[in-house]
Amino acid sequence: MHKKLVLVLALLIAFGAISIVAETSWAQVSNLQEAIDAAPKGTERGEIDPAAPLGYLGIPGGPQINLILAFIWAIWVGWIFSTVGAFGGIMAGVGHITVYGLGNYAGTFRQTAPTINRAVTDSIRVSNQFMVGTSALISSINYYKMGRLVLPVAAALAIGSIAGSYLIPLLTAGKVSFRDYVGYFGIFVLFLGCYMLYETTPRGAAGKKKAKQAADAFESTMKKKRSGEKVDTSELGVKMTKFSLGKIAFTFYGVEFSFNPLFPIFGGFIIAAIAAFLGVGGGFMLVPFLTSVTGLPMYLSAGTSALAVLIGMITSILSYLQQGVLVHWPLIGTQLVGIVVGSMVGPYTSQYIPDKWLKRVFIVLAFYVGLDFMARGFLGKNIMTMFFG
Amino acid sequence: MQEFHEIFASIYQWLDVMLISTFRLLSNPVSGFFFGTFILSLWCTLIGELTSLGVGRINRAHLKKLEQESIRLHNLSVKAIIHKDKESYRACNKMANEAWGKYFFATISQGAASVWPVPFALAWMHTRFEAIEFELAYPIPLLPEVVGYPAVFIPMYILVRICFARLKPWLPLFHGDDAPKVRRPGQEEEKMITWADVDKHKGLPG
């Protein structure tokens, strides 16, 4: 069974890769070239100097990507992945938007050559997904092989994922200006910051505390019981008791669960759409969603969500590339190496920083990045100049 | 900085000569291209797998700790459901998922470690084979009639990785317990109780 699944996945990826190549290598390069040709010529802001050395995406005068800086930033991203988790993907995005100078450069073409502005924006979005996505992909395939799938849920999620991942690039590629993108990215980061802050409040922590207490209590009860004690296992596995458009009810080892099948479809759609629009993974939103909506056990939700993320990501990257988005490969490669180094350093350094402090630092960071990006995106000013002139 | 660029340029030059040499081994250019791409895929796979192995060894203790925590909580959730204790199941499952999330993100480094040579290979191929075109013998839906070099490299790389994964048990370095894969259930210190175990034993195993 596993081998067949791997084969299907491999074929899917291979097929995707072929379309990527075919689409990007030729037709789309000419789109950017046309935009470069059409842009006003000169050495001023928002103009293209044909005599200038080729920079990012082969644009004359485009930013020269500093691979050393990219490497150092990626170490930071990898460090976050290994200590805090999903926030690493956000920081990868921050790197693409601000650190390498791509954002400022795209901004200069807002009025004069919007196509170049949008091309750089899309390139940032797809680069984020490539970088975080391919790494997550390898981990996901392992989980996928490990876990059993709950096919109806996986199918519902996958339908939503494909729709979200296909539609968003189709509808937005080449249409989102850099400023809008940064603004929406800011909203997402601010939302994440608020959620992280909520988790630290007594109310937010109560749920987690309660779960921990219940788990501890159950563990101590289990320790008191004799091993191998007989339990009622007359109802093994999953037994579907009701299957309709409005409700799927099933017993799981005799315990009743139910969920609305439309939830995974909409949830998959919304999560995949957000992930594709912002250029993030999406798995970190999918697993908690899946567990809380369907009550699936970890073992099953891991495999099921891995499949949905995998399908969503392939669809999204392909869809972007079909719209003509170009990628700077050495930048992606350098960042992958940086992530590896950062993830190796993380475990050795994070033990000296208490979890509580780590959380506080990232809440402050999320608020700063979120508000700053929103101000840049929607007001055209960065947060420092807004407050301090 | 200047020195760094010079060192970088000479390394790149040396690599370029080494990589292109395999593309010139066969006299027929098409066969040469396919053979060279195969060797390049092999390099990418080997270097990626070795990096992943090294990262796996360095991070082993940390990953094992995270993995054990998620397995412990998952097993508790299985026990809870077997005892028909829905509330405990939900609590344990919530905790298990959180622990699993931490473990998942920690393993991202292994994913990155195993694929990092690929973007560099694509970047290098772009400098050498940007103008190469292959006409498809049979039309494939969604694809244009003419494709470029990655259409050969990426499927070749995936095939090489699949073959490599199958050969792993016989390869020195890669067959041991340290192999950089995420361990499957049954290989951990506290064994993960799978639903298949529960079905087989008609209850909790052991």
The residue that leads in pLDDT, B14 or A3, is B14
**Mean pLDDT on A26-54:** 73
CA–CA distance, A317 with A325 (Å, rounded to integer): 9
**Which of B4, B77, B105 comes nearest A298 by C-beta?**
B77
Residues from chain B contacting residue A256 (CB–CB below 8 Å)? 86
pLDDT digits (tens, 9 = 90+) for B122-131: 889 888 887 7
Phi, psi dihedral angles at B14 (to 5 degrees): -65, -45
What average pLDDT does chain A have? 73
**Are A39 and A116 within 8 A, CB to CB?**
yes
Residues from chain A contacting residue B200 (CB–CB below 8 Å)? none
Which residue of A lies nearest to B58 if distances are taken between CA atoms? A344
CB within 8 Å: A333 and B116: yes
Which residue of B lies nearest to A86 if distances are taken between CA atoms? B105
The answer, yes or no, to whether residue B148 has pLDDT greater than 50, is: yes
**Mean pLDDT on A168-181:** 72
Query: What's the ipTM?
Result: 0.79
CA–CA distance, A121 with A127 (Å, rounded to integer): 10
**Mean pLDDT on A165-192:** 78
**Mean pLDDT on A52-63:** 82
Residues from chain A contacting residue B199 (CB–CB below 8 Å)? 236-237
* Per-residue DSSP letter, A379: I
Which residue of A lies nearest to B196 if distances are taken between CA atoms? A237
**Which of B119, B130, B155 comes nearest A17 by C-beta?**
B155
Q: List Cβ<8 Å contacts ≥24 apart for B35-41.
A: B37/B149, B37/B152, B37/B153, B37/B156, B38/B156, B38/B160, B40/B121, B40/B125, B40/B153, B41/B121, B41/B153, B41/B156, B41/B157, B41/B159, B41/B160
Scan residues 94-153 of A and list those with Cβ closer than 8 Å to B. 130, 132, 134-139, 142-143, 145-146, 148
The answer, yes or no, to whether residue B43 has pLDDT greater than 90, is: yes
**Mean pLDDT on B157-181:** 76
pLDDT digits (tens, 9 = 90+) for A79-96: 888 777 767 778 888 888
Whole-number pLDDT of residue A3: 44
The answer, yes or no, to whether residue B75 has pLDDT greater than 50, is: yes
Whole-number pLDDT of residue A103: 76
Whole-number pLDDT of residue A298: 64
Which of B56, B88, B62, B58 minimizes the C-alpha distance to B75? B88
Phi, psi dihedral angles at A28 (to 5 degrees): -75, -30
The answer, yes or no, to whether residue A51 has pLDDT greater than 70, is: yes
Place A23 in a pLDDT band, splitting at 50, 70 and 90. very low
The residue that leads in pLDDT, A275 or B57, is B57
In total, the C-beta contacts within 8 angstroms joining chain A to chain B are 248
pLDDT digits (tens, 9 = 90+) for A215-274: 777 777 777 665 555 555 566 666 777 777 777 777 777 777 777 777 777 777 787 777
